[in-house]
Structure 1
Amino acid sequence: MFKVRELILRNQKRIKRLFSDFLYKTMAGIISTGTQQLVVLPLLAKFFSAEMYGVILTIRGVYNAIYIGFGNSLANVRQITYTDYSKKGIVGDYNLLAWIFAGISAVLLVVTCFFVGNVTIFEMMLLIPSVFVATLNAYYLVHYNLVLDFKKLLFNSIISSSGAILGILLVKYTMLWPLPLLFSGIFSLMNLFFTTPRIREPFRQTELMFKTLSKYAILLAVTLVAQSLLYLDRLIVYPIIGGEAVATYSTAAFFGKSVAVIISPLSSVLLGYYCQDTFKMSLKYFWSGNIIVLVLSALFMLISIIMAPWLTGLLFPTLIDMANPYIFISNLAAILCFAGNVAQSAVLKFANIFWQIVIQVCYAAIYVILGVLVMPKYGLWGFCYVVLFANVVRLILLYTIGHYSIMLRGNIKS
């Protein structure tokens, strides 16, 4: 058992700054997630039938996987390679890559919409610029992590959420459900234009381009798999047991996923600190952080047992009866996923990037293969247990790989 109290006392100033940054980013997460989960999604569920709502959730899931996969992956590579570029005084590559992959993300979403179906031409015309802008936003937000300025991130979240609220108000009159995505992205990008110099960096290739691309390719594949799995419940459930089952599962997991998204900024804040030149990781830091996260996860799970049925019923009165039996197990899986995401920030920085592939392949194999096998016989219950098992295995892998990677780096402190 590590002396956690002694470690905290020796690093009070650093912990105070970390807590302050985490608070700002958590507030940003609460605002953006609260807007989506408490305003946008409940109103969409009210405006559309259960079947159509399931279709919307499926497409939004792919939308999120695409823009986060392409945009966040580039942002994470920017953080990992930040010192390589700064030491050589090189500026370039990233704006070029951001706009290219934003275009690719738009093409992928169009293909998805044709595959899922039930998307009108007007909705498609709104989704294409929405995912393009969202991909750019996901990358340009990296600036706040690089300079550890999370106050501006909070302000950006307020601006983006204002756009989403405007969009959902217009949905009532137009029935064009992509409007909250479009307005949210446009508002955010306009704010980023005035608050980050990254958006005005030159569109040019540098000597580090291919090194950066190789890292990006690996991380992109890993992130796309991870994000696809995050929303894979919709992609697997929809073709096997229908849109109503998608709506049921998404509603059941609503509280747990909302909590996980709200507190997930901790992993991003930690990665920002890990990428600073002065930071040295140790096993004590690694395990102390993970123990704290597990305690928080247990606390959030207790809260969800009390609050989840009530809040879910309040926000989704037409779906609560179908979703109620699945609330506990789906929330537990979502919170374990959050615990894994925090550990992953350390693994991403301090372990060989190859291990990211190993983790995601194992996770995906369990999730997809078992999910497809059990659903025809056991329905949504079988899928819920598969998701829980997959997140437990992922968490164990992250802890094991993180522990041994940090130990082998030789950065262990006494």
Structure 2
Amino acid sequence: MLDENTRKYYTGFVWDVALNIVSSAIPIAVLQLVILPTIASATSSEKNGQIVTLISFLTLAAEPFGFALNNTKLLVNETYTMEKSRGDFNYLLLISIPLNAIIIIIGTIYYAPDGGAVFVFMMLLTSTIILLQRYFMVFFRLTLNYRRILLDSFFLCTGYLIGLLLFNTSRDWILVYASGSIFSLSQTLWHNKLLKGPIRRTPFFKNILKKNSILLFVEFMNSIVKYADRLILYPLLGGVAVSIYYSATIISKLISLAVTPLSTVILSYFSKMESLKRRTFYVMLSVGLTVGAVCYIFCVLIAESILNWLYPKWAAESMQLVYITTACAVVGAVNNIVRPAVLKFRNISWQLLLGGADTVLYIGLAYTFFLIGGLKGFCIGLLINAIIQLFLRVVIFLTQPQST
């Protein structure tokens, strides 16, 4: 029998996971079931592929800076609290914004050379807002206030839907993401104390800069792996191939609805723990594999109906890839469950190795198998890489000593 405190702990954990799943599911559902199909139906397959590529680039550039600061804050917050120290993070935030701007300007000109100055400015504005929102959201994670994160999702979706109305009159898709990001950040800042933090360096700055730099590198590697498929395919095969491929991955988004929120809650709880037993790790891994297998079967069964409903123009071509892309998503989901354990309880330097290996293998395997089997070969290369990454993380956790 569990004592009262243990029962409350696990009940709170399950409740927070449920809230975070709903918080993630709502905006993803609005995007995947309403926003993106509407944009796709109003554009050609070539233009839609370019839009999907630009959306991927937009988040690839902004999220690493925001999430690196977010996770660094989670990992070291206890130290700052004990020492009653304030600073460093808003200072790092001001450094991150111009670095993100440089990446966005260069990438936007490359992927949309005919976009014009106004479009580049809108990409830059939206990307900056996304970066700020991803960082300041950590305040709710530190206080385990997942109700506030749920509220943020409603604001985000409201902004998306208002942006969709603007798209219907202007045919400018960036307004959807700009509107959603503005609504989301407004709610986050209204209930946030981190913005009031001083812009100064503390005696911890050197150590924090090192941790943040490592996590920034890792987040960039993770984002490249997450979004590079579209960024690579667009120059190789054009927008039509991106549209077909992206539609094939729509089913796998159902899996990420549950697993990505679970991963963030796990890290939030791990931030308050000193160690993790092997037995607990084995349970996490086993549950992840079991749930993943069930999700795979379910997603494959419903794939054809959903694709014909959302993307009828190229559903038949996408169905040929669904079995591989869904398997890739399942393995990636289990990887995301294991990842917080390695991040928190093993030397942070391992993140450099894992991030670098993931990126090199991802690009190398995807391109090699693309040369062999075209678009389907590309997907097989991604699946092989996902399996290798899961294996590496499990081995590192089981064989390496706990970080101090």
TM-score (norm 2): 0.95
User: 8 Å contact 1:67–1:131 — kept in the other structure?
Assistant: yes
User: 8 Å contact 1:240–1:376 — kept in the other structure?
Assistant: no
Partner residue, 1:266:
262
Q: Does residue 341 in structure 1 map to residue 336 in structure 2? A: yes
How many angstroms apart in 1 are the aligned matches of 2:118 and 2:210? 37
How many angstroms apart in 1 are the aligned matches of 2:28 and 2:95? 28
Give 1:208-287 correspondences, 5 Å limit.
Answer: 208-276=204-272, 278=273, 280-287=275-282
Change (3 A) 1:7 1:345: farther
User: 8 Å contact 1:267–1:342 — kept in the other structure?
Assistant: yes
Change (3 A) 1:344 1:410: closer
Q: Give the CA deviation at 1:130.
A: 0.4
How many angstroms apart in 2 are the aligned matches of 1:304 and 1:158? 26
Change (3 A) 1:103 1:397: same
How many angstroms apart in 1 are the aligned matches of 2:17 and 2:290? 17
Partner residue, 1:152:
148
How many angstroms apart in 1 are the aligned matches of 2:259 and 2:172? 31
Partner residue, 1:409:
402
* 1:207-232 superposed Cα distances (whole Å, 9 cap, x missing partner): 21121111111111111011111111
Change (3 A) 1:220 1:182: same
Partner residue, 1:40:
35
* 1:246-301 superposed Cα distances (whole Å, 9 cap, x missing partner): 1111110111034214431101001000111x553111111111111111111111
User: 8 Å contact 1:257–1:335 — kept in the other structure?
Assistant: no
Q: Give the CA deviation at 1:185.
A: 1.1
User: 8 Å contact 2:21–2:257 — kept in the other structure?
Assistant: no
Of 355, 362, 369, 2:357 maps to 362
Letter in 2 for 1:199: L
Q: Does residue 137 in structure 1 map to residue 137 in structure 2? A: no
Partner residue, 2:48:
53
User: 8 Å contact 2:275–2:345 — kept in the other structure?
Assistant: no
The residue matched to 1:207 in structure 2 has which SS? coil
How many angstroms apart in 2 are the aligned matches of 1:202 and 1:60? 33
User: 8 Å contact 1:42–1:315 — kept in the other structure?
Assistant: yes
Instruction: Give unmatched runs, 5+ long, in structure 1.
Output: 1-5
Give 1:23-172 correspondences, 5 Å limit.
Answer: 23-117=18-112, 118-172=114-168
User: 8 Å contact 2:259–2:336 — kept in the other structure?
Assistant: no
Letter in 2 for 1:221: F
Q: Give the CA deviation at 1:107.
A: 2.2
How many angstroms apart in 2 are the aligned matches of 1:106 and 1:166? 26
Letter in 2 for 1:63: L
What count of residue pairs does the alignment treat as equivalent?
403
* 1:336-383 superposed Cα distances (whole Å, 9 cap, x missing partner): 111101110111101111111222222222211122233234210110
Partner residue, 2:169:
173
How many angstroms apart in 2 are the aligned matches of 1:347 and 1:16? 24
TM-score (norm 1): 0.93
Q: Give the CA deviation at 1:331.
A: 1.0
How many angstroms apart in 1 are the aligned matches of 2:210 and 2:356? 19
How many angstroms apart in 2 are the aligned matches of 1:96 and 1:186? 22
How many angstroms apart in 1 are the aligned matches of 2:241 and 2:283? 39
Letter in 1 for 2:319: N
Q: Give the CA deviation at 1:39.
A: 1.4
How many angstroms apart in 1 are the aligned matches of 2:353 and 2:253? 24
Letter in 2 for 1:219: L
How many angstroms apart in 1 are the aligned matches of 2:4 and 2:50? 51
How many angstroms apart in 1 are the aligned matches of 2:163 and 2:41? 15
How many angstroms apart in 1 are the aligned matches of 2:402 and 2:379? 38
User: 8 Å contact 1:73–1:223 — kept in the other structure?
Assistant: yes
Q: Give the CA deviation at 1:8.
A: 12
How many angstroms apart in 1 are the aligned matches of 2:297 and 2:222? 26
Q: Give the CA deviation at 1:100.
A: 2.6
Letter in 2 for 1:370: L
The residue matched to 1:313 in structure 2 has which SS? helix
Letter in 2 for 1:136: L
Q: Give the CA deviation at 1:10.
A: 10
Partner residue, 2:319:
324
Partner residue, 1:3:
none
User: 8 Å contact 2:365–2:385 — kept in the other structure?
Assistant: no
Question: Deviation above 6 Å: which 4+ runs of structure 1?
Answer: 6-10
How many angstroms apart in 2 are the aligned matches of 1:127 and 1:260? 25
Partner residue, 1:190:
186
Change (3 A) 1:126 1:410: closer
How many angstroms apart in 2 are the aligned matches of 1:382 and 1:7? 50
How many angstroms apart in 2 are the aligned matches of 1:20 and 1:10? 15
How many angstroms apart in 2 are the aligned matches of 1:23 and 1:29? 10
Instruction: Give unmatched runs, 5+ long, in structure 2.
Output: none
